[in-house]
Chain A
Amino acid sequence: MKGTNLGEFEELVLLTIAALVNDAYSVAICDELEKNTGRAAKLGVVHAVLNRLEEKGLVKSKLGEATNTRGGKRKRYYAVTSAGKAALLKAKEVRDNLWSMIPGMALKNI
């Protein structure tokens, strides 16, 4: 099913939301992604992903206080839901499993 699988970028966004804890809104997420991945995160792309994640029920959002920096518009804060947490854990588990299957010497010689 669509909802169970996470894309690579989706996973990154989801992780960033979790990492930012109480300050996870679109612009902050973009900035954090850029900082950690070193690649440019376009606002439009991030928005679309956030929208998709919310549709899948992996994140939830609420509107915060209006601030002057946003021209009087409110921020939309995102938080990971339990389904999101489960998806993240599952993805981590898959990776951990795969990592553990690689013999110690196998990657050293590449």
Chain B
Amino acid sequence: MINQKNKPPRLAEKFLSWYCKPELLEDLQGDLYEYFQRNVKTRGVVRAKLIYIIDVIKFMRLYTLRKPEFVNTLMNWIMLSSYVKTSARSIRRSPLFSSINIIGLAISMTVGLVMIAVLTDISSFDTFHTNRKEIYRVISRYDYQGNQDNNYMATTSLRAAKLIEESVAATNGIAILRRDFEGDFTAGTKTIPLQGYQTNPGLFQLFSFRLLKGNPVTALKEPFSLVFTESAATKLFGDDEPVGKVVKFRNRDYTVTGILEDVPHFSHMRFEVLGSLSTRETNKEQLKEDSKWDNIWNAWVYLRLPPGTDLQTITTTFDRISAKEDSTVKETHIELDLQPLGEIMAGTDDLGNQIGPVIGNLTLWIFGGLTFVVLLSAGFNYTNLSIARSLRRTREVGIRKVIGAMKSHVMSQFIVEAVLIALIAVGFAIVLFLLVKPLFIGIEPEIQQIFKLELTPVLLLYFIGFALLIGLSAGFFPALFFSSINAIEVLKRWYPVKGLGKLTLRKALIVFQYTISIIFITCTVIGYKQYKNYVGFDLGFKTENVLNISLQGNKAELLKKGLSELPEVTGISQSAMVTSIGNFWGTPVKHISNLQDSSWMAYNYIDEHYLDLHHHKLLAGRNFNPLPDSATESEVLVNEQILKKYNIPNPIQALDETLVVNGKELRIVGVLENFVYGRSNDANQKKEILFRYSKTNVHILNVRIESTDLIGTVAKIEQLWKELDPVHPFEAKFYNEQIEEAFSGLRASVNVAAVLAVLAIGIASLGLLGMVVFTTETRLKEISIRKVLGAKEVLLLFLMSKNFILMLAIAAAIALPLTYLLFEQVAFPQMANHAPLGIIDMLVGVSCIILIALILIATQSWKVARANPSQVLKSE
């Protein structure tokens, strides 16, 4: 026979069959081959090959060239209906496999749909502004004594806004929004609480908020003018004409100069009322505050730069402003920068002081990545099962090819089948999406504020496009596989070729799916343990059954009187803020002996009942003595950490030392055991903390309740509140609830991970089920023969399941170390006070998954092992 060496060059052969008309091809190939063999004998292999190549090129003539295949493409379209028909038949013929594929795809596509809806929502933010591409926000970074903050603030100083307005000549307008224009607005006898900003007329010039009544240029020009949104005005005035009316806010009269259309949902800033920024200029104290260069926490500033503006020159101007202004403040440097409007919602999420809730791009990337993994997993199911079933379908393909189907026809057929399944799946997925939507939106209050996830026609179109994409990509591999089947070989043999198995690939896909599932579930278990750990963390004081009520401007004494009459209330105290839920109040503190060394310390105002109510432990000294409202502040309580700061050896010696707190000389009267001030997961727990005494700054009532019916008691307290203050809704929360809320981000992540874990496990189990059914069915005959020869059922069970068990073991062996590394190397270094990683936590998830898988494998295998061999062998 001809050996490999004496074959014509393959590339030339391929080239020939590519360009040559099919009807001439065989003839030409034959002729060239004959010549080639002749040349090999007479002139040697190398020259023969060369001649072959030259001949192939010389044969490229007009009459040998293939014509473009319009007809073929047309044919494909005509065949489409036939493909759909045969696909529908094939789906119906194997209901188990089809439903596994459809359910798996539908579940994973639901996640994909949520992702698409999320992205659509995010991309529709701020699109209603006509100038959206030209608007930038000024952001600033604070640097004190060379300690640069890691993150920029979304806010900047009013001083900077003023200087930018004057200096950046290219500016086509500047919009400034200052916070703290919210509270009770009174018109006549009606009072409602509203939220808004103080702003300049530039707002209407930059943004496309529509003014229904009033003049956009003058409406916010004069001091003490304000603009309501339509719905706020209706709430306050009913059907009366609001423009020109006088409204009371913080004891000042404001004139209504306009009515705004309600702010659209997809706006990154939301408000119900806008006051004129010029109002601040009438107040000397505020004017002084606003002129400070380092007061960067309260105002959001937006610029419009015409297209083509060189941002570099703008930032250079900013740097110049900074350099000049830094000299007005001590040891502080403030850096300004620009952020495009389009990047506010989904840009870097580590910007502080946002004007409203945003979703960071990191979150999006993580969520997107996880969605992709789940989709991939379901796609693998499809590929895996399709190829596994090749046994039954190869002969069908063989016959198609014999009848005259070309490679492309077979490919289209299988791709159409996959697309059909994907389209059926997306139908289910859309229903699931509508069911899941409220759950997703309810995960966190912020999500509710950002997303609507409305099923619009455009979104529906995206969904269908997505299904087509999934169908195409899931069907591609099986299509490629089936179309390259050799018809003659398949039809001649009774059993398909062994190469068809591609066993390693299929096994790898299953191992991948299970690895992902194990990682997801282990992360969920560990994450949940961390959440429980933080929520139940020993803060150093007691928070159980403490109800924190926000006074909202009401007199504490009135409510206290009502409360003390309730038998369930066992104690009442007051504080300025709630600690341990992530809030910080800071103040400069110096020791009297060294007035040069000033440092920021956290503090809280409390009354004399606070310590007892919260079971704070005094190491030395005493609690505050009750003082009248008018008494000047003279005493302070400190925590142990302060002793270290000022090198005081023990708590007793700290007593009667004097600290200068924000300019006031205060005597230490007691030392408290250290406790958590920020949050239990803060890296820096060792904080210097002060408790100061006040009767006027304490706007939160801490109520300790002893009752078997907490909800009933809260309802009673709410009743008291309503009698006292009919305007404001009752704002009260149990301390432990507030701590849980402080960790709602972590809880949301755990919830999302749990959902994904369930999905991944479900999809992987479906895939495994398909594979097990398939293998056991094809081995039915083998098992029966083994049984006839005397094999025991238990041994058969082992024989059939050992491969799958091995795959699960490999998956676990990959997933567990990965998860361990993920937490030990990536997550834990950033989480202070985390609970240790226990072996049990790692194994709980794995054993659950393996148990499910074993049940799947065992039930199927058992069915086959129990089958009556005589029946099987007779019917085959």
B-binding residues in A (CB < 8 A): 26-27, 43-44, 47-48, 51, 63, 69-71, 73-76
List of A residues within 8 angstroms of B171 by Cβ: none
B324 is an interface residue with CB less than 8 A from chain A:
no
Binds A, one of B55-63, B122-130, B336-344, B569-577: B55-63
Query: How many angstroms between the C-alpha atoms of A71 and B35 in the bound complex?
Result: 11
Q: Across the interface, do A47 and B59 meet the contact criterion of CB distance under 8 Å?
A: yes
Assess whether B26 is in contact with A27, with CB atoms less than 8 Å apart.
Answer: no
* 6 nearest CB pairs, A to B: A73-B30, A70-B30, A71-B33, A76-B27, A44-B58, A26-B31
B29 located at the interface, meaning its Cβ lies under 8 Å from any Cβ of chain A in the complex = yes
Taking the closest CB of chain A, its distance from the CB of B25, in whole angstroms, is: 9
Considering the complex, give the chain A residue whose CB is closest to the CB of B28: A47
Q: Is B37 an interface residue (CB 8 A)?
A: yes
Say yes or no: B33 contacts A73, CB within 8 Å. Answer: yes
Using A44-B61, A48-B63, A75-B30 as known contacts, list a sample of 5 further A-B pairs with CB atoms less than 8 Å apart, ordered by residue number in A.
A63-B26, A70-B31, A71-B29, A74-B30, A76-B26
Beyond A27-B31, A43-B31, whether A69 also contacts B37 by CB under 8 A is yes
Q: Is the CB of A70 within 8 A of B33?
A: yes
Q: A27-B35, A69-B37 are contacts. A48–B30 as well, Cβ < 8 Å?
A: no
| Nearest chain B residue, comparing its CB with the CB of A44 | B58
Q: Does B34 contact A (CB under 8 A)?
A: yes
Complex contacts, B28 vs chain A, CB 8 Å: 47
From A48, A63, A75, B61 is in contact (CB under 8 Å) with A48
Are B55 and A74 closer than 8 Å at their CB atoms?
no
Closest residue to B35 on the A side, CB-wise? A43
1/0 contact string of B33-46 vs chain A (CB within 8 Å): 11101000000000
In the complex, A92 Cα to B33 Cα: how many Å?
36
Q: Name the interface residues of B1-44: CB closer than 8 Å to any CB of A.
A: 2, 24, 26-35, 37
Our pick among A27, A43, A48 for the contact of B55 (Cβ within 8 Å) is A43
- Kindly list chain A residues whose C-beta atoms are within 8 Å of the C-beta of B55: 43-44
Could you tell me the distance in whole angstroms from the C-beta of A94 to the nearest C-beta in chain B? 28
Inside 8 A of B24's CB, which chain A residues have their CB? 51
Minimum C-beta distance from A17 to chain B (A): 15
Complex A-B: 26 CB contacts under 8 Å: A26-B27, A26-B31, A27-B31, A27-B35, A43-B32, A43-B35, A44-B59, A48-B63, A63-B27, A69-B33, A69-B34, A69-B37, A70-B29, A70-B33, A70-B34, A71-B2, A73-B26, A73-B27, A73-B30, A73-B33, A74-B26, A74-B27, A74-B30, A75-B27, A76-B27, A76-B30
Residues of A within 8 A of B2 (CB): 71
Interface of A is mostly: helix
Smallest Cβ distance from A42 to chain B, in angstroms?
8
Partner among B34, B58, B63 whose Cβ is within 8 Å of the Cβ of A27: B34
C-alpha spacing A63/B32, complex, angstroms: 16
Distance between B38 CB and nearest chain A CB, rounded to angstroms: 9
Q: How far is the CA of A44 from the CA of B58 in the complex (A)?
A: 7
Q: Is B31 touching A47 in the complex (CB atoms < 8 A)? A: yes
> What's the least CB distance linking B472 to chain A, in Å?
36
User: What CA separation (Å) do A48 and B34 show in the bound complex?
Assistant: 18
Question: What are the residues of chain B within 8 A of A43 when measuring CB–CB?
Answer: 31-32, 35, 55
Chain B: number of interface residues, binned into ranges: 10 to 19
CB B56 to nearest CB in A, in angstroms, measures 10
Q: Within 8 Å CB of A74, what residues of B?
A: 26-27, 30
Complex Cα distance, B34 from A74, in Å, reads 11
Q: How far is the CA of A98 from the CA of B58 in the complex (A)?
A: 38
- Write the nearest CB–CB distance from A16 to chain B, whole angstroms: 16
Please name all residues of chain A whose beta carbon is closer than 8 Å to the beta carbon of B29 when the two chains form the complex.
Answer: 70-71, 73
- Which residues of chain A come closer than 8 Å to B33, judged between CB atoms? 69-71, 73
What's the minimum C-beta distance from A67 to chain B, rounded to whole angstroms? 8
Closest B residue, CB atoms, query A26: B31
- List chain B residues, Cβ under 8 A from A70: 29-31, 33-34
> How far apart sit A63 and B55, CA to CA, in the bound complex (Å)?
22
Residue of A nearest to B62 (CB): A48
Considering the chains assembled together, what is the distance between the CA atoms of A80 and B617 in angstroms? 118
A92 CB to nearest B CB, Å = 28
CA distance A26 to B59 in the complex (A): 14
- A51 proximity list for chain B (CB < 8 A): 24, 63
Q: In the complex, what's the smallest C-beta–C-beta distance from A2 to chain B, in angstroms?
A: 15
Separation of A27 and B28 alpha carbons in the complex (Å): 10
Bound form: Cα–Cα A44–B56 in Å: 9
Residue on B nearest A27 in the bound complex, by CB = B34
The CA-CA distance from A75 to B30 in the complex, in Å, is 7
The contact string, 1 if C-beta is below 8 Å from chain A, for chain B 55-81, is 100110101000000000000000000
Kindly name the residue among A27, A63, A73 whose own CB sees the greatest number of chain B CB atoms within 10 A. A73
User: Once bound together, how far apart are the Cα atoms of A26 and B29, in whole Å?
Assistant: 12
- The minimal Cβ–Cβ distance linking B5 to chain A, given in whole angstroms, is 14
User: Once bound together, how far apart are the Cα atoms of A67 and B675, in whole Å?
Assistant: 94
Closest B residue to A71 by beta carbon equals B33
**Bound complex: CA of A78 vs CA of B33, how far in Å?**
19
Chain B neighbourhood of A27, CB < 8 A = 31, 34-35
Look across to chain A and name the residue whose beta carbon is closest to the beta carbon of B58.
A44
Chain A residue, CB-CB nearest to B36 = A71
- A90 CB, min distance to chain B CBs, angstroms: 25
Contact check, B30 vs A71: say whether CB atoms are below 8 A apart.
yes
Residues in B neighbouring A75, C-beta threshold 8 A: 27, 30
Cβ of A50 to closest chain B Cβ, rounded Å: 9
A71 to B32, CA, bound (A): 10
How many angstroms from the CA of A63 to the CA of B31 in the assembled complex? 13
B63 — which chain A residues lie within 8 A by C-beta?
Answer: 48, 51
- Cα-based distance from A74 to B33 in the complex (angstroms): 11
Q: Which residues on the B side are within 8 Å of A73 (C-beta)?
A: 26-27, 29-30, 33
B193 to A: closest C-beta gap in Å: 90
A52 to chain B: closest residue by CB: B63
Chain A residues near B37 (CB, 8 Å)?
69
From residue B776, how far is it (CB to closest CB) to chain A in Å?
41
Question: How distant is A62 from chain B, measured CB to nearest CB, in Å?
Answer: 11
Q: Which residues of B contact A44 (CB under 8 A)?
A: 55, 58-59, 61
Q: Would you give the shortest CB distance from B495 to chain A, in whole angstroms?
A: 25
User: Once bound together, how far apart are the Cα atoms of A75 and B2, in whole Å?
Assistant: 19
Q: Which residues of A contact B34 (CB under 8 A)?
A: 27, 69-70
B35: A residues at CB distance < 8 A? 27, 43
Q: Which B residues from 703 to 731 make CB contacts under 8 A with A?
A: none
Cα distance, A75 to B29, chains bound together (Å): 10
In the docked arrangement, what's the CA distance between A76 and B25, Å?
11
Interface string of B264-285 (1 = CB under 8 A from A): 0000000000000000000000
Q: For residue B63, which residue of chain A has the nearest CB?
A: A51
Binary per-residue interface labels of chain B (106-130) against chain A in the complex, 1 for a CB within 8 Å, 0 otherwise = 0000000000000000000000000
In whole angstroms, what is the CA distance A70 to B31 when docked? 7
State the Cβ distance, A66 to closest chain B Cβ, in Å: 9
Bound-complex Cα distance A76 to B31 (A) = 10
> Least Cβ distance of A58 to chain B in Å?
16
Cα–Cα distance between A51 and B64 once the two chains are bound (Å) = 9
Rounded to whole angstroms, the CA-CA distance of A63 and B22 in the bound complex is 14
> In the bound complex, how far is the Cα of B28 from the Cα of A93, in angstroms?
35
A47 partner residues in chain B, CB cutoff 8 A: 28, 31, 59
Which residues in window 227-250 of B have CB below 8 A to A?
Answer: none
Residues of A within 8 A of B61 (CB): 44, 48
Q: Which of chain B's residues have a CB closer than 8 A to the CB of A48? A: 61, 63
Residues of A within 8 A of B32 (CB): 43
Q: How distant is the Cα of A27 from the Cα of B35 in the complex, in angstroms? A: 8
Residues from chain B with a CB closer than 8 A to the CB of A76 are 26-27, 30
Which B819-852 residues have a C-beta within 8 angstroms of A? Answer: none
Q: How far is the CA of A63 from the CA of B28 in the complex (A)?
A: 12
In the complex, what's the smallest C-beta–C-beta distance from B17 to chain A, in angstroms? 11
State A76–B27 Cα separation when bound (angstroms). 6
Q: How far is the CA of A75 from the CA of B26 in the complex (A)?
A: 8
A69 (CB) vs chain B CBs: closest residue: B34
- Which residues of A lie under 8 Å from residue B30 when comparing CB positions? 70-71, 73-76
- Complex Cα distance, B28 from A47, in Å, reads 9
CA distance A44 to B16 in the complex (A): 14
In the bound complex, residues from chain A placing their C-beta under 8 Å from that of B59 are: 44, 47
Task: Specify the chain B residue showing the minimal Cβ separation from A45.
Answer: B58
